Amino acid sequence: MCGIVGYAGARPATPILVRALRDLEYRGYDSAGIAVLGSADGEGLVITKRVGKIVNLESALDSSPGNEATVGIGHTRWATHGRPSDLNAHPHTSCGGEVVVIHNGIVENYAALRSALTARGHTFASETDTETIAHLMEERTRSGLPLLEALRLTIGELEGSHAIVAMSPSEPGAIVAARVGNAGGVVVGYGEGEMLVASDLAAILPHTQQVAFLASHQLARVDRGGAAYINGDGSPATVEPHRVPIDPVSALKGQYEHFMLKEIMEQPEALSDTIRSLVTIEPAGIHLPDLGAMSDRLSEVRRVILIGMGTSLHAAMVGRAFIERLSGVPAETDNASEFRYRDPVLGPGTLVVSVSQSGETVDVLEAMAVARAKQAMQITICNTEGAQTTRVAGGTVYTRAGLERGVASTKCFTTALVALYALALRMGEANGYLARERIAGHIQDLARLPDAVARVLQDHTPYRALANHFYDARHFLFLGRGLAFPVAMEGALKLKEISYIHAEGYAAGEMKHGPIALVDRSFPTVAVAPAHALRSKLVSNIEQIQARGGEVIVVASEGDDELAALADHAIFMPAVPEFVEPFVATVPLQCLSYYIALRRGCDVDQPRNLAKTVTVE
């Protein structure tokens, strides 16, 4: 979950590292630090680190030496071992100061390693698991081994998954990096006379689009002249750089106060780009260009299990209904972190569809590893070109949402629904379940989707007004049925993660089996009730809530005056075909959460305790 960056080149490293940490801050933001080698007045290691956001580090750097150093590493932390503090912030050094390390992951056997190292005379400066890595490496560099070899032998002693970057005054100009398991990626960036390493593309793209990704158990040594790679057994590794097509400009906030709002507003375009990349309208056709070997195997599929976490799991829940109803193949969903440990039965003909915008979520990657071991077919839905999930799955359906920076996922949810819709249509086409005319009809519906979403986003007055009315609520209930049930779950997740209001998403039919006991005047309900989502059933749920004094906000299709009259507050969305409703109904809930969080003064883009990409268990 932490952000990692390293720079070796000819330019001053500090501003490059600080800018990169800003670009990575969404990965973790409880402390940050940098280490540079070779200060203006000669050699030496200068480490500066501060608890809190990057701005605190920047203030400290103003009075720190090392401003002309051209090699350095930087880290933004999401704490796992040791509370957020200056001391526990990365980078960490060995006791002799010979090795400096930044790390993403958890050293699962750190307690045993720490006592062994202490017994051998090492002294620890922090409470972190990461510091053990610096001491272990130092034992090797002291015995004369080069830094890369010291790192290679050290990772053999660590349990867990890791991304590690290190440097040493004994090898000025060089940075070494290793990736072990699924704790997070290591990307190597090839600039003009300079090289970068980072946990993800956001830190690299402002400098170069030429990148290479380390696989698990691969290591790299970079200096300003280039990179060399080895495998975990010490043999040379071939890692080819390639050009990634992401536009760095999309990483900027532009006119918007927050990335979340920008990304909500980008949805019509993101949807359009994703739709255009997967379907043609005239002639109507589904083309999934990255499905690879899975293209020819879709008719073999007899059962589908969709997995994901958080928002991506909610997308998977919608995808399940798409697949069952458009391809006739039984489908189920599972939380990836449960799937991986439950020894799932995956018979022949089982397709596992993973959904992950980052493609780096550790629970998803581990679940995919289980599916692979059991020889299931795999397709992944992903927004990140070349991410880990795309390298494990037999085929990928990419979403074209552009970089998503807000911790609360918005455009990646709705674009993932497009990918799942297109996959379901393609499966129905491949196994003969869907006639050509029906496919063409669905494609027409998809083509009109971006406009419908744009209409929802035209006027924010209703969301602001509702936020003013409800911002001090302590609890919220979100209800939906059918395709609107996962939308209700997603609405509740959005609200709780950015506004810290307790919110529950429920299948509306479940309400009277317990949750209704909570309802009173201070416990508002959002009922997601577009025309096709078993609307008439929801009417009785709304009446039951109101009979107990609860206030109800309804999300209804335009023209549904009956529902609007019944509810206390109504948000209207365009009346759209059934399969398009979950896309359109989600957007008002994103806006409602955003404006409630804003009214409460919350840090919308960096909510407490969260990180954008969850690479630890």
Task: Return residues touching ligand M6R (CB under 6 A).
Answer: 309-312, 356-358, 361, 364, 407-409, 493, 497, 613-614
Is 602 an annotated catalytic residue?
no
CA separation for the pair 79, 87 (Å, rounded): 12
Among all residues, whose Cβ is closest to ligand M6R?
310
Judge contact between 335 and 309, C-beta under 8 A. Answer: yes
CA separation for the pair 431, 32 (Å, rounded): 52
Whole-number minimum distance, CB 357 to ligand M6R, in Å? 4
CB nearer ligand M6R, residue 364 or residue 479: 364
CA separation for the pair 93, 33 (Å, rounded): 12
Of 2, 412, 591, 602, which residue is the catalytic one? 2
**Three-class SS of 415-472:** HHHHHHHHHHHHHHHHCCCCCHHHHHHHHHHHHHHHHHHHHHCCCCHHHHHHHHHHCC
**Three-class SS of 522-586:** CCCEEEEECCCCCHHHHHHHHHHHHHCCCCEEEEEECCCHHHHHHCCEEEEECCCCHHHHHHHHH
Whole-number minimum distance, CB 283 to ligand M6R, in Å? 33
**Left, alpha or beta for 247 (phi > 0: left; psi -120 to 50: alpha)?**
beta
CA separation for the pair 37, 379 (Å, rounded): 44
CB nearer ligand M6R, residue 557 or residue 613: 613
CA separation for the pair 324, 307 (Å, rounded): 15
Q: Is the peptide bond before 283 cis (omega within 30 degrees of 0)?
A: yes
Give the Å distances, CA to CA, from 412 to 54, 57, 362, 406. 26, 31, 18, 11
214: DSSP letter: P
Lookup: tokens for 119: 């017994």
CA separation for the pair 398, 288 (Å, rounded): 9
Is 612 an annotated catalytic residue?
yes
Measured torsion, CA atoms of residues 198, 200, 202, 206, in degrees rounded to the nearest 10: 40
Rounded to a whole number of angstroms, the distance between the first and last alpha carbons of the chain is: 10
Lookup: tokens for 258: 């927050």
Whole-number minimum distance, CB 163 to ligand M6R, in Å? 16
Lookup: tokens for 557: 């299709």
Query: Residue 316: enclosing H or E segment and its boundaries?
Result: helix 310-327
Q: Which residues are catalytic?
A: 2, 612
